[in-house]
Amino acid sequence: MKPNVKDALEEWKEASDDLRDSAVNALRLALPGLDYSKTPAYCCPVTLTISKPNELGDGRVCIDDDTRATVELEDVPNAVIAEAVDAVFGIAWFDQADGPLEDAGPGTYNYDDETTGGEYEVVLRDNETATGRVYVGYVPVPYAAELLDAISTARERQKKQPTAD
């Protein structure tokens, strides 16, 4: 390989590593409690898991070789999911939701972003803990960070609200 090509590839690799490190930092700041985890052999180069399950659910965030993020969270309070999704996307953005997700009730709500190829799915469950699932696949890191930050913000706000006894 020509020396100038080799140098250019080394420069690219360094920039790619810096980009990945910045992505990890942004995601960890967006959702406190995310921390490095052992990455399974079949998975992306970086896997972050929630180190404090039950506070904001349980799950992981992966960053692939193209610096796209995949978010898989379980047991997130339905009210947190609804507030976060409506704050980020606006009202009635997801399929099957004609109004705010808070009013939509239990079900599966999807959105496919044709521009980025990202896939979004939220599941609001009618279970005794009123918790659901958030899945976001193959999205640019800023999109994932925005949603994770909205989830964290919604949870903080809701925890401060007095409960009705």
Residue 127 domain boundaries: 3-160
- Domains contained in the chain, number: 1
Instruction: Let me know if residue 103 belongs to a domain.
Output: yes
User: What tens digit of pLDDT does each residue of 25-50 get?
Assistant: 999 999 988 988 887 767 788 999 98
pTM: 0.88
Instruction: Let me know if residue 70 belongs to a domain.
Output: yes
Instruction: Let me know if residue 124 belongs to a domain.
Output: yes
| CATH code of residue 51 | 3.30.1460
Instruction: Let me know if residue 82 belongs to a domain.
Output: yes
Instruction: Let me know if residue 23 belongs to a domain.
Output: yes
| DSSP H or E stretch at residue 139 | strand 131-140
Instruction: Let me know if residue 165 belongs to a domain.
Output: no
User: What tens digit of pLDDT does each residue of 84-102 get?
Assistant: 999 998 887 888 888 888 8
